[in-house]
Amino acid sequence: MIQYAIRRLLLAVPTLLGVSMLVFGILRMLPGDPATALAGVHATQEVVERIRAEHGLDKPIHLQYLGFMKDLFRGNLGKSIRTALPVTTEVVSRLIPTLELTAVSMVLAVLLGVIVGVISAAKPYTVFDYGSMLGALVGLSAPVFWLGLMLMLLFSLQLGWLPAAGRGDFRHLILPSVTLAASSVALIARFTRSTMLEVLRSEYIATARAKGLRESRVILRHALSNAMIPILTIIGLRFGALLSGAVLTENVFAWPGVGRLVVDSISARDYPVVQGAVLMIAVSFVFINLVVDLLYGVVNPRIRYD
């Protein structure tokens, strides 16, 4: 297993190289460039060209790429065109709030999702089952901006319990992470329920039941551990999606996260920042997917690594 993990980590290098090439190329395929975006409506051509020259955007693309790679190997992600800050500083400072938010909302989503899913599967086609399904689907269909605003209106404006937006102490984290968790709860609950149902129908569980084990024991010990793989997969996917896809939540709650940074930087065609941010997000994905794959082996020892 350790050997496998090491091999995977070594393979991260070509993966990240691939990401960097792809992002580098695609960014330059986009219409518009940092100079036109930065200079804005009022700019003259003269200014646009000066900005291009200042940032070496007037050089041939292969030279730009070589320069980028050279810096990259020295661990230098370059400087933001828009803010002139080092990309590393900028991305890291925005990745931290995102990690906070993602972690809290994942804990919420996994706890709630797995519990609801398991109960639904244990008592299928009951009021609880359908009630939770309905709740899950509403959570999934409600756009983040709507849900977020509703929570704000209730808990901040009406009840005055929580700050409406912004980053600060722990209380600031509650509303955005609940909002962010909503769609994940739905996904995790539905997945848990469905795989649990599947497992509960298998001969293996029938045997366990026949042996006279208590139902709760059957469900928790035997069924859940067997249903863990799809659940783990979904958790891994959600974790990743939250990392890069929390833009809307970050917008609604004025959360200074990396999702907003990426979107703002794409809009500004701030090439170095987008490159750097995507690269760092990619690193997190490599880790998340590795952890998920390793956990597969933990929950089901029959799965081999090769």
Partner 1 sequence: MRKLGILLAVAVGLMGLAQTPKLGGELVIAFGTDPESLDPNKITSAPAGMVLTHVAETLLTMDENLEIRPLLAQSWKLAEDGRSLTLYLRKGVKFHDGTPFNAQAVKDNLERFRKATYAFLLFPRVQTIDIVDEYTVVLNLDMPFAPIVSHLTHNFVALVSPKQIAEVGDKEIMDPVGTGPFKFDKWVRGEYVRIVKNPDYWGDKPYLDAVKFLVVPSDATRLVLLETGQVHAIMRVPPLEAPRLRGVKGVEVVKLPSVRTIYIAFHYQRAPFTDVRVRQAFNYAVDKEAIVQTILGGVGGVSDAPIMPLIFGYAKQNPYPYDPEMAKKLLADAGYAKGLKIKFYHPTGRYMMDAAIAQAVQAYLRDVGVEVELITMEWAAYLAFLRKPLEESGFDMFMLGWGCVTLDADYGLFPLFHTSEWAPKGSNRSFYSHPTVDALLEQARVTVNYEARKALYADLIAFLWQDAGWLFLHYEEQINAQRTTAKGLIHHPREYILAHKAWLDR
Partner 2 sequence: MLKRLVKHKLAILGALIVLAFLVAAAFAPYLAPRDPLKSSLREARKPPSPTYPLGTDHLGRDLLSRIIFGTRVSLLMAVISVGIGLAVGTPVGALSGFYGGATDMVTQRIVDIMMAFPGILLAIVVVAVLGPGLWNAMLAVGISFVPTYVRVVRGAVLELREREFVEASRATGASGLHIIVRHIMPNCIAPIIVLSTLQMASAILWAAGLGYLGLGAQPPTPEWGAMLGEGYNYGMIRVAPHVTIFPGVAIALAVLGFNLLGDGLRDALDPRLRGRL
Pick from 6, 134, 154, 254 the residue near partner 2 by CB under 8 A: 134
Q: Shortest Cβ distance from residue 44 to partner 2 (Å)?
A: 25
Q: Which does 137 bind (CB under 5 to 8 A by kind): partner 2, partner 1, none?
A: partner 2
Tokens coding 216: 């709760």
β-strand partners of 86: 79
Tokens coding 72: 């990259």
Q: Which does 232 bind (CB under 5 to 8 A by kind): partner 1, partner 2, none?
A: partner 2
x/- mask, partner 2, residues 197-236, rule CB under 8 A, reads xx--xx--------------------------xx-xxx-x
The 3-state secondary structure of 26-86, one letter per residue: HHHHCCCCHHHHHHCCCCCHHHHHHHHHHCCCCCCHHHHHHHHHHHHHCCCCCECCCCCCE
Q: Which does 24 bind (CB under 5 to 8 A by kind): partner 1, partner 2, none?
A: none
Q: Shortest Cβ distance from residue 182 to partner 1 (Å)?
A: 17
β-strand partners of 79: 86
Write the CB contacts of 107 (distance below 8 Å, at least 6 apart in sequence): none
Does residue 86 belong to the site contacting partner 1 (CB under 8 A)?
A: no
Q: Which does 223 bind (CB under 5 to 8 A by kind): partner 2, partner 1, none?
A: none
Q: What are phi and psi of 56, to 5 degrees?
A: 65, 20
**Cα separation of 278 and 91, whole Å?**
9
DSSP 164-207: -SSS-STHHHHHHHHHHHHHHHHHHHHHHHHHHHHHHTSHHHHH
Picking from 281, 288, 289, 290, the residue whose alpha carbon sits closest to that of residue 77 is: 281
Q: Count of CB atoms within 10 A of residue 98's CB?
A: 24
Does residue 78 belong to the site contacting partner 1 (CB under 8 A)?
A: no
Q: Which does 114 bind (CB under 5 to 8 A by kind): partner 1, partner 2, none?
A: none
Pick from 256, 295, 296, 305 the residue near partner 1 by CB under 8 A: 256
Nearer to partner 2, 187 or 208 (CB): 187
Pick from 46, 169, 203, 306 the residue near partner 1 by CB under 8 A: 46
**Cα separation of 148 and 180, whole Å?**
9
Q: Which does 163 bind (CB under 5 to 8 A by kind): partner 1, partner 2, none?
A: partner 1
Q: Count of CB atoms within 10 A of residue 127's CB?
A: 8
Does residue 146 belong to the site contacting partner 2 (CB under 8 A)?
A: yes
Q: Shortest Cβ distance from residue 60 to partner 1 (Å)?
A: 19
**Cα separation of 165 and 305, whole Å?**
45
Does residue 190 belong to the site contacting partner 2 (CB under 8 A)?
A: yes
x/- mask, partner 1, residues 262-281, rule CB under 8 A, reads --x--xxx------------
**Cα separation of 132 and 175, whole Å?**
21
Write the CB contacts of 291 (distance below 8 Å, at least 6 apart in sequence): 236
Tell me, rounded to whole angstroms, the distance of Cα 219 from its chain centroid.
Answer: 30
Tokens coding 39: 């200079």
Pick from 165, 213, 290, 291 the residue near partner 1 by CB under 8 A: 165
CB-CB contact of 243 with 284 (8 Å): yes
**Cα separation of 266 and 276, whole Å?**
12
Does residue 87 belong to the site contacting partner 2 (CB under 8 A)?
A: no
What are the residues binding partner 2 (CB under 8 A)? Answer: 11, 14-15, 18-19, 22-23, 26-27, 29-31, 124-125, 130, 133-134, 137-138, 140-143, 145-146, 149, 153, 183, 186-187, 190-191, 194-195, 197-198, 201-202, 229-230, 232-234, 236-237, 240, 244-245, 247-248, 262-263, 266, 274, 278-279, 281-282, 285-286, 289, 292-293, 296, 300, 302-304, 306
Q: In the complex, which residues of this chain contact partner 1 (CB under 8 A)?
A: 30-33, 36-48, 50-51, 82-85, 90, 93-94, 145, 149, 152-153, 156-157, 160, 163-167, 251-254, 256-257, 260-261, 264, 267-269
